[in-house]
Amino acid sequence: MARLTTEKLAQAARLVGASEFDVWLTFVRETFGGGDPALPLILEGGLTWQSALMVFRDGAKVAIVGNYDADPLKAAGDWDEVVPYVQGIREPLLAQLEARISKGKTPRIGVNFSTDDVKADGLSHGMFLLLEGYMKGTRFEACLASAGDLVGELRAVKTPEEVRRIRAAIAETDALFDWVDENVRIGMSEREVYDAIQERVEAKRLGYGWDPVGDPIVNSGPDSMVGHGVPSSSIRISPGHIFHIDLGVVKDGYSSDIQSCWYVPNPGETQPPEDVKSACSAVVGAIDAGSQALLPGVEGWRVDEAARSFLVAQGYPEYLHALGHQVGRVAHDGGTILGPKWERYGQTPFGRVREGEVYTLELGVDVNGRGYLGIEEMVRVSQGGVEWLTTRQTDIPLLRG
């Protein structure tokens, strides 16, 4: 893990150097079972007391932490200075800011909040008020500003080690889909498939890309609850169904997020019926259209629009979600999304795509009486076009009975 935090802290130092901030300050406490999503990018493990993790303009990396938390940080070797305290953080924090930020101009301190980017919004409102209070009456009063863009870029643009880990998570997911292909049979309930996949996820000591109550999502046929529903014990895989799985697993702290579909043949059927094949080619074509629009510098909504308008032109209804989201430490990893300009997405569809970001491309259609046909791929953005991280699904295989 040390290599990852070292890579990310070097990236953070470059970003702070190129920003308007004197320092980027991550301010956290009791991080276990919650905490700032930016923290695991720069620190392995957790922190108990109020802690200030700072990257200054000149690249200096300073951590101020409760006395019992100091040893692991010193051992990690990522920090130029580790300052332990016993009674309170205010004094050592102000002393560091005082010593390291030049007096010529109004200081700018970037902290982790954002109205739009969930994963750059790790500072709680109470902690914000606390920090404001500590700075009251000093030259740092009212100098806190959103470092949302900086944190967003740090999280979104993946280092080589991060891409390696995402590929490893995808490989695990592929292996699970292979297992499904070989073992899932007509007559099994959605719930039985869900349980069997989770058993394998846990036996391999993998984590989940989203809440395990709905990971994997398993849908068979027209009566299934699409979206974030729980798998049904009474809906069983039956001939004529489209069988659909959406699965994300976490390996070494990084996630996959992939959807795959099968057709369950009636006796004598040797290929999916025409309506399924047409839906599949519309979905695959829309993903193609999106992937071609996905280039550095483009605003997210344009990528969604490319896929959405392709699908609608084929005579299918719009999907009621975004074409894609970023994937990283979890499946929904924040930042720019490839989505429509709907209020619920806030400013996120207006972000510009960057080289090195990892996105899903995902959509589906309901095929009347047969179920939900959804496909989801993962890609890395590069100058020359997308790099496919998943092995693409371009047709609907038969579920061997």
Residue 231 or 265: the one with the smaller Cβ distance to a second copy is 231
Report yes or no: 253 and 368 within 8 Å, Cβ to Cβ.
Answer: no
Q: Whole-number minimum distance, CB 151 to a second copy, in Å?
A: 11
Residue 108's identity, in one-letter code, is: R
Judged by beta carbon, residue 108 or residue 332, the one nearer a second copy is 332
**Cα–Cα dist 253/264, whole Å:** 35
Pairwise CA distance, residues 102 & 56, whole Å: 11
345 φ, ψ (degrees, to nearest 5): -95, 0
In angstroms, the CA 179 to CA 154 distance is 35
First to last CA, the chain: 43
Residue 296 CB-half CA count within 13 A: 13
Whole-number minimum distance, CB 67 to a second copy, in Å? Answer: 6
By C-beta, is 67 or 309 nearer to a second copy?
A: 67
Structure token digits, residue 54: 């700072």
Q: For residues 13 and 97, which CB has a smaller minimum distance to a second copy in the complex? A: 97
Cis, bond preceding 216 (omega within 30 deg of 0): yes
Choose between 13 and 305: whose C-beta lies nearer to a second copy. Answer: 305
For residues 140 and 210, which CB has a smaller minimum distance to a second copy in the complex?
Answer: 210
Nearer to a second copy, 81 or 318 (CB): 318
Tokens 């699904």 belong to residue: 393
| Residue nearer to a second copy on the CB measure, 171 or 213 | 213
Closest CA to 235 of 250, 246, 225: 225
The two three-digit tokens of residue 56, written as one number: 């200054």
Closest contact distance (angstroms) between CB of 86 and a second copy is: 6
Q: What angle do CA 10, 16, 19 make, to 5 degrees?
A: 145
CB of 31: closest distance to a second copy in angstroms?
A: 8
d(CA 104, CA 125): 30
Of 215, 219, 246, the closest CA to residue 235 belongs to 219
**Smallest distance from the beta carbon of 179 to a second copy, in angstroms?**
21
**Nearest distance, CB of residue 127 and a second copy, angstroms:** 7
Q: Least distance (Å) from a second copy to the CB of residue 54?
A: 18
Contact of 51 with 69, CB cutoff 8 Å: yes
Number of other residues whose CB lies within 10 A of the CB of residue 73? 22
Q: Shortest gap between Cβ of 244 and a second copy (angstroms)?
A: 14
